[in-house]
Structure 1
Amino acid sequence: MLEERYPFAVPRYQRAYAWEDEAVGHFVRDIEAVLSKPSGSVSHFFGGVVCIELTDNQKVRPHSYEVVDGQQRLATFMLALSCVVEMAAELATDSNPPSLPDAKRADTLRADTAEKYVTWKEADIAAGVTEVRPRLMLSLADDAVFQGLIMPGLAVPKPSRESHQLLIDARTALLDMTRRFIGIKGAAGGRVDRLLRLRQALVQDAHIIHIVSKDRSQAYRLFSVLNHRGESLSDADLLRSRSLELLDSYASRREQVARLWDEMLASSAKNVEAFFKALYPSWTGVRAKGDLFEAIEEQFFPKMPPKTAAEAQSLVKTIELFRDELSIFLKLVAGDWPYDRPPGVPNQVRAWQVDRLRRLILTLKHELALPVLLAGAVSLSEGDFAELVYMLEVFAFRYKNVCNGHATRPANLYYSEACKMHTASHASYTLNAFRIGLRKLINDHAADALFVQLLGENLRFNNSSQRANIREFLTTIEDHRQWWTKTGSTNPKARPKPTMIKVIDIADATLEHIYPQRAEPADKDSALEPLKHNLGNITFFGQADNVAAANKSFAAKQAAYYAISSIGMTSDLATKAAWTEADLSQREQELVAMAVRVFVV
Structure 2
Amino acid sequence: MKAEESTVGHILTDQICYEIPPYQRPYSWKSENVRQLLEDVWEAYENSDEEYFIGSLITIEIEKGKRYDVVDGQQRLTTLNLILARLRDHVEDGAAKAVLGKRVLPRNELTGETETPRLLLRRKDQGFFRRHVLDSQPLPPPSERSKLDAPQQRITENLEAIDGFIGQKDQQTLKLFANYLLMKVYVVFVKTESLKSAYRLFNVLNARGMSLSNADLIKNMLFSQLEGNQTLNDELEDRWLELEDIVGIEMLDSFLSHHRTSMMAAKARGSLHEEYRSIIDGFVGGPFAFLDQVILSARNFMRIWDCEFQDAASVRALNALWRVSYDEWIPPLLGYLNQPVRGLSEAKFLDLLERITMQNWVRRLGRTARLTVYFKLISAIRAEKSVDEVIGVFRAHANNDEFINLLGGEIYGKPFDAAVLLRLEEAAQDDSVTKTYSGRLTIEHVMPQALKDAYWTDRFDTESHGLWLHRLGNLAMLCGSKNYKAQYFDFDRKKKIYLDRDKKVSFDLTKEICTLDEWTETALKARQERLIKLALATWLID
Fold conserved between structures, TM > 0.5: yes
Partner in structure 2 of residue 293 of structure 1 = 273
For residue 410 of structure 1, the aligned residue among 370, 378, 381 is 370
- Residue 522 to residue 271, structure 1, CA distance change in 2 (3 Å): same
Give 5+ residue unaligned stretches, structure 1. 57-61, 93-105, 183-190, 304-310, 342-349, 480-498, 543-548
**1:232 pairs with 2:232:** no
- CA shift, 1:516, in A, is 8.7
Partner in structure 1 of residue 107 of structure 2 = 121
**C-alpha offsets along residues 394-418 of structure 1, whole Å, 9 cap, x if unaligned?**
2333321x34321221113212321
- CA shift, 1:577, in A, is 4.4
- CA shift, 1:272, in A, is 0.8
- CA shift, 1:505, in A, is 3.9
- CA shift, 1:325, in A, is 0.8
- Residue 570 to residue 235, structure 1, CA distance change in 2 (3 Å): closer
**1:68 pairs with 2:71:** yes
* In structure 1, distance between residues paired with 2:426 and 2:440: 8
* In structure 2, distance between residues paired with 1:281 and 1:32: 48
- Residue 554 to residue 532, structure 1, CA distance change in 2 (3 Å): farther
- The answer to whether the 8 Å contact 1:280/1:287 transfers is no
- Residue 510 to residue 118, structure 1, CA distance change in 2 (3 Å): closer
For residue 150 of structure 1, the aligned residue among 114, 133, 153 is 133
Q: Which has the higher contact order (CA 8 A, sep 6+)?
A: 2
- The answer to whether the 8 Å contact 2:105/2:114 transfers is no
**1:2 pairs with 2:5:** no
For residue 52 of structure 2, the aligned residue among 38, 44, 50 is 44
- The answer to whether the 8 Å contact 2:58/2:72 transfers is yes
- Residue 22 to residue 527, structure 1, CA distance change in 2 (3 Å): farther
**1:213 pairs with 2:192:** yes
- Residue 268 to residue 300, structure 1, CA distance change in 2 (3 Å): same
Partner in structure 2 of residue 345 of structure 1 = none
Partner in structure 1 of residue 227 of structure 2 = 248
Alignment of 1:522-541 (within 5 A): 525-526=456-457, 535-539=472-476
TM-align CA RMSD: 3.9
Alignment of 1:64-463 (within 5 A): 64-88=67-91, 92=92, 106-115=93-102, 117-121=103-107, 130-154=113-137, 156=139, 160-180=148-168, 182=169, 191-227=170-206, 230-248=209-227, 250-266=229-245, 267-302=247-282, 314-337=286-309, 341=310, 350-361=311-322, 363-380=323-340, 384-400=345-361, 402-424=362-384, 430-439=389-398, 446-455=402-411, 457-458=412-413
- Residue 500 to residue 32, structure 1, CA distance change in 2 (3 Å): same
**C-alpha offsets along residues 73-99 of structure 1, whole Å, 9 cap, x if unaligned?**
1000111111211210xxx3xxxxxxx
* In structure 2, distance between residues paired with 1:571 and 1:110: 70
- CA shift, 1:138, in A, is 0.7
* In structure 1, distance between residues paired with 2:12 and 2:440: 60
For residue 421 of structure 2, the aligned residue among 448, 456, 470 is 470
- Residue 588 to residue 83, structure 1, CA distance change in 2 (3 Å): same
For residue 18 of structure 1, the aligned residue among 8, 15, 28 is 28
Which range moved further: 41-50 or 571-580?
571-580
- The answer to whether the 8 Å contact 1:513/1:539 transfers is yes
SS of the residue corresponding to residue 57 of structure 2 reads strand
* In structure 1, distance between residues paired with 2:153 and 2:509: 48
Partner in structure 2 of residue 59 of structure 1 = none
- The answer to whether the 8 Å contact 1:53/1:64 transfers is yes
Q: What is the identity, as a one-letter code, of the residue corresponding to 2:408?
A: V
* In structure 1, distance between residues paired with 2:445 and 2:409: 22
SS of the residue corresponding to residue 397 of structure 2 reads helix
- CA shift, 1:28, in A, is 2.9
- CA shift, 1:593, in A, is 5.6
- CA shift, 1:437, in A, is 3.6
- The answer to whether the 8 Å contact 1:119/1:134 transfers is yes
* In structure 2, distance between residues paired with 1:228 and 1:506: 44
- Residue 556 to residue 224, structure 1, CA distance change in 2 (3 Å): closer
TM-score (norm 2): 0.80
- CA shift, 1:435, in A, is 0.9
% identical equivalent positions: 19
- The answer to whether the 8 Å contact 1:84/1:195 transfers is yes
* In structure 2, distance between residues paired with 1:423 and 1:258: 32
- Residue 573 to residue 79, structure 1, CA distance change in 2 (3 Å): closer
**C-alpha offsets along residues 235-272 of structure 1, whole Å, 9 cap, x if unaligned?**
11111112112113544333221101112224433411
Partner in structure 2 of residue 344 of structure 1 = none
SS of the residue corresponding to residue 227 of structure 2 reads coil
Q: What is the identity, as a one-letter code, of the residue corresponding to 2:424?
A: F
- The answer to whether the 8 Å contact 2:35/2:162 transfers is no
- CA shift, 1:510, in A, is 7.8
- The answer to whether the 8 Å contact 1:282/1:375 transfers is yes
**C-alpha offsets along residues 319-343 of structure 1, whole Å, 9 cap, x if unaligned?**
1111121121122123333xxx5xx
Partner in structure 2 of residue 502 of structure 1 = 433
* In structure 2, distance between residues paired with 1:508 and 1:149: 38
- Residue 203 to residue 179, structure 1, CA distance change in 2 (3 Å): same
- CA shift, 1:160, in A, is 2.6
Give 5+ residue unaligned stretches, structure 2. 1-10, 480-485
SS of the residue corresponding to residue 133 of structure 1 reads coil
SS of the residue corresponding to residue 19 of structure 1 reads coil
Q: What is the identity, as a one-letter code, of the residue corresponding to 2:474?
A: N
Which range moved further: 574-583 or 228-237?
574-583
- Residue 372 to residue 162, structure 1, CA distance change in 2 (3 Å): same
- Residue 212 to residue 327, structure 1, CA distance change in 2 (3 Å): same
* In structure 2, distance between residues paired with 1:325 and 1:232: 26
- The answer to whether the 8 Å contact 2:62/2:68 transfers is yes
**C-alpha offsets along residues 477-513 of structure 1, whole Å, 9 cap, x if unaligned?**
x25xxxxxxxxxxxxxxxxxxx634334455998786
**1:599 pairs with 2:539:** yes
- CA shift, 1:216, in A, is 3.0
* In structure 2, distance between residues paired with 1:597 and 1:370: 23
Larger Cα-atom Rg = 1
SS of the residue corresponding to residue 47 of structure 2 reads coil
* In structure 1, distance between residues paired with 2:163 and 2:457: 64
- The answer to whether the 8 Å contact 2:29/2:154 transfers is yes
